[in-house]
Structure 1
């Protein structure tokens, strides 16, 4: 495996998230990381009936602050709460041939939040014509693997576990990572160029735009630069 990326698993993320799948041999979901409160793991934004951005949220059970993403569970009344939340959004109420199976996953919640999120990522990837494997970090690392390691060293551990020689990061990581630090681990650091499109849930884009246009947008806006 030559090139990988690592991302937190997000609920129906913006279209730019899926550009990572164009340029890598595998996308690793960082599910052994601490669950970020008020982040994007269990929620994203859609346009409501007033044309305002509102939150579509996967309801979660209470959990300790130190919980890992893989340890989070659905709230007891998650399906009822989510159904009411979805009713606010035209994109959820009016499925098309592309969004119908995605919405079915949301209206028939099963297993853990991570299972739901991963299933949705795979469904959207397939709709976009992308077949890059999506792996859980917990499948080869336990939650304690990062103890005492810097962020770069943690990434290097993942690359080593998968035999990768190149690592692709989102553009926001330029302030965090240095190419020289990766070179000391025998790795090449690459960055995606900034995504020029709107930062709304991919579900909104799938509801509004032809799938052929979205496929083309993902491929044509995907460029990587050396770190």
Structure 2
């Protein structure tokens, strides 16, 4: 049983979805501290041939709060501007008509108050669009009862509770986790490293690792499914 655990990010890059598609159970780590200037409520798209960062405004943002306790500021005019920017950026993209309803549904669904819920919805909607069937759970509601444990110990405990024998982590965790520590608990630890792939963009120079929105706007589902397997395990 392969397990992965990641904070919920807003329309994350393709490597995030490679990780989801590579495992049996994916846990959205929503009861850990919010990270300022991270990817929880913002990401990057291509606007007029250049990289552009969009941000979903939130209330009382603090690194002392858990992700699940950060609320989206639905009263902000910035949300409308974000949606308008998406339309401007991708109106001429080949798959705009298929993808923009998905994006709007996430960015304009005021039924979700927490950024954790909005980010999770963005991830689940993309998974549905790409027919990724991985089981998803939230760490806050999964019944793990281990929020008191230190980072590495908690990860191990979640994997064991899910009956996992393999844990896949994003490549960014290479400096954080040790394979021998996981092996002591009968778990094989691997790091997923996305391989660079180039697809058509309306700019003279390809800009990699943008939000999955960019990938979906310029590629059909079959092509994106192939891109989901373009990685190496370290």
Alignment of 1:179 with 2:179, yes or no, is: yes
User: How much has 1:104 moved relative to structure 2?
Assistant: 2.2
SS at match of 1:98: helix
Relative distance call for 1:159 and 1:212 in structure 2 (3 A) is: same
Q: Distance in 2 between matches of 1:106 and 1:59?
A: 11
Aligned residues of 1:86 and 1:93 also touching (Cα < 8 A): no
Q: CA RMSD in A?
A: 2.1
Relative distance call for 1:4 and 1:92 in structure 2 (3 A) is: same
User: How much has 1:148 moved relative to structure 2?
Assistant: 5.3
Question: Which residue of the partner structure matches residue 58 of structure 1?
Answer: 56
Where does the alignment leave 5 or more consecutive residues of structure 2 unmatched? Answer: 198-207
User: How much has 1:160 moved relative to structure 2?
Assistant: 2.0
User: How much has 1:66 moved relative to structure 2?
Assistant: 0.8
User: What are the Cα deviations for residues 39-87 of structure 1, in whole angstroms up to 9, with x where unaligned?
Assistant: 0000001122x32212221110014431001111011514x32111232
Relative distance call for 1:92 and 1:161 in structure 2 (3 A) is: farther
Question: Which residue of the partner structure matches residue 123 of structure 1?
Answer: 125
Aligned residues of 1:110 and 1:116 also touching (Cα < 8 A): no
Question: Which residue of the partner structure matches residue 24 of structure 2?
Answer: 25
SS at match of 2:10: coil
Q: Distance in 1 between matches of 2:211 and 2:171?
A: 19
Relative distance call for 1:106 and 1:181 in structure 2 (3 A) is: same
- TM-score calculated relative to the size of structure 2: 0.85
User: What are the Cα deviations for residues 169-207 of structure 1, in whole angstroms up to 9, with x where unaligned?
Assistant: 112222222111111122111121333142101111111
- TM-score calculated relative to the size of structure 1: 0.87
- Alignment map for 1:165-204 (pairs within 5 Å): 165-197=165-197, 198-204=208-214
SS at match of 1:129: coil
Work out the number of aligned pairs and report it.
219
- Alignment map for 1:1-227 (pairs within 5 Å): 2-48=1-47, 50-78=48-76, 80-89=77-86, 90-91=88-89, 95-111=96-112, 112-140=114-142, 145-147=146-148, 149=150, 151-197=151-197, 198-219=208-229, 221-225=230-234
Q: Distance in 1 between matches of 2:63 and 2:13?
A: 26
